[in-house]
Amino acid sequence: MAELGVKIGNLHLNNPVLTASGTFGYGEEFADFIDLNSLGGFIVKGTTLEPRQGNDYPRMVETPSGMLNAVGLQNKGVDYFIENIYPRLTEYTSEIIVNISGSAVEDYAKVAEKLNALPRINAIEVNISCPNVKTGGMAFGTTTTGAAAVTKAVREAFDKTLIVKLSPNVTDITEIARAVEAEGADAVSLINTLMGMAIDVERQKPYLSTYTGGLSGAAVRPVAVRMVWQVHKAVKIPIIGLGGIMSGRDAMEFILAGATAIEVGTANFINPKVTVEIVDYINEYCQRHGVSDINQLIGII
């Protein structure tokens, strides 16, 4: 067995395999298929200060080698999470990371502060791809000032490992990565979904109720690998890579490009056992390549 443990800030993961927020429910949905404790950790659904009903149906459509979604952060709010879901999740031994979202900087900080009090939550992942209502809905994550402001506020409210999840819908992702690093992020994760659109030409209508949505799945992988590679050259903090990882091979692509850990998203819908298969593959890969520790392979490209 190769050494698969990795470190993200103060967070020790038994292996580099995490799950992507919004694609893995609260983990429990997958308990019939895999041993959740065999993952490095799992990142639960996007959580907001207040409950959110999300967008209208239809919220998804399949596209070539991927899908568009417009779920719109449906969740029951951070208080419900703390009271009703968190206690159940503490029975698992792998790391539980909460993904947080907001429509104002203060909302992010309030959610982070509440989560800071939970002993089993050692890290949060901040989704900055959300519209900032105060600036007319432009996503925080698309400007260096917006990304920095959210990171700064959350940093003050949360003293454990802070991961900022970057949006790929920008001209230069390395700029945003540097901005959040400067405000004290312990790590960055990338990529969130790519903005896309699909039209039903027979009905002459967009497939999604919101017209546009987030593209995920195998189709986005080359874009994601490129961005991880670029960000790896630009910042010193660890990178968590994701976007279109469907197999162990794909996970290795991200690690070689510079990711210390990876997240598996849409692939869980197709193969609910894919995460544990990826853990096994990485171990087998290391042995096949005569590497005793996965850390030796991070960012060698």
Partner 1 sequence: MEKNDTMTAHNYMVDFTITDTEYVSPDVVLLKMTPADSKVQLKEMNIRPGQFAQVKTPDNATFLRRPISICFVDLEQNKLWLLVRNAGNGSRAIMNSPVGATLNIILPLGNGFGMEICGDTPLLIGGGVGCAPLLMFGAHLKANGITPTFLIGARNKDFVLLEDKLSVYGPVYVSTDDGSYGDKGLVIDNHILKEKFSSIYTCGPLPMMKAAAAIAKEKNMPCEVSLENVMGCGIGACLCCVEKTVKGNVCVCKEGPVFNITQLLWQN
Ligand X SMILES: Cc1cc2nc3c(=O)[nH]c(=O)nc-3n(C[C@H](O)[C@H](O)[C@H](O)COP(=O)(O)O)c2cc1C
Provide the annotated active-site residues.
130
268 binds partner 1 (CB under 8 A): yes
Binding span for partner 1 by CB under 8 A among 93-101, 143-151, 193-201, 271-279: 271-279
Site residues for partner 1, 217-246, by CB under 8 A, read 217-218
The DSSP 8-state label assigned to residue 3 in this structure reads: B
Judged by CB under 8 A, does residue 58 bind partner 1?
A: yes
Q: How far is the CB of 5 from ligand X (least distance, A)?
A: 23
Give the whole-angstrom CA distance, residue 139 versus residue 119: 31
Among 61, 162, 166, 187, which residue sits at the site for partner 1 (rule: CB under 8 A)? 61
Q: Is omega for the bond preceding 238 within 30 degrees of 0, making it cis?
A: no
SS3 category, 76: coil
186 neighbors 162 (Cβ within 8 angstroms): yes
Distance in Å, CB of 53 to partner 1, minimum:
5
Residues 185-204 that bind ligand X (CB under 6 A): 192-193
How many residues bind ligand X, per CB under 6 A? 25
Separate counts of helices (H) and strands (E) for the chain: 9, 16
CA dihedral (287, 293, 294, 298) positive or negative: negative
Could you say which of 2, 43, 85, 96 contacts partner 1 (CB under 8 A)? 85
CB of 23 to partner 1, least distance (A): 6
Cα 215 to its chain centre, rounded Å, is: 14
CA proximity to 196, closest of 186, 205, 206: 206
Q: Which structure tokens are listed for 244? A: 């279109």
Instruction: Provide φ and ψ at 25, rounded to 5°.
Output: 50, -130
Nearer residue to partner 1 within complex by CB, 7 or 76: 76
Whole-angstrom Cα distance, residue 80 to residue 6?
Answer: 31
241 binds ligand X (CB under 6 A): no
Q: Tell me the Ramachandran region of residue 65: left when phi exceeds 0, alpha when psi lies from -120 to 50, beta otherwise.
A: left
Does position 77 interact with partner 1 (CB under 8 A)? The reply is no
User: What span, in angstroms and rounded, lies between the C-alpha atoms of 13 and 96?
Assistant: 11
Q: Read out DSSP for 101-159?
A: --SSHHHHHHHHHHHHT-TT--EEEEE--SB-GGGTT-BGGGSHHHHHHHHHHHHHH--
Is 124 near ligand X (CB under 6 A)? no
Q: Which stretch binds ligand X (CB under 6 A): 153-161, 173-181, 261-269, 288-296?
A: 261-269
Least Å distance, CB 21 to ligand X, is: 4
Letters for 134-173 (x = contact with ligand X by CB under 6 A, - = none) are -------------------------------x--------
Distance CA 217, CA 301 (A): 23
Residue number, 206 or 238, with CB nearest to partner 1: 206
Site for ligand X in 25-84 (CB under 6 A): 45-46, 69, 71, 73
Q: Does 275 bind ligand X (CB under 6 A)?
A: no
Rank residues 30 and 158 by Cβ distance to partner 1 and give the closer one.
30
Can you give the binding site for ligand X, defined by CB under 6 A?
A: 20-23, 45-46, 69, 71, 73, 99, 127, 165, 192-193, 216-217, 220, 242-245, 264-267
Would you tell me which residues interact with partner 1 (CB under 8 A)? Answer: 22-26, 28-30, 32-33, 45, 53-54, 57-67, 69, 71, 74, 84-85, 217-218, 266, 268-273
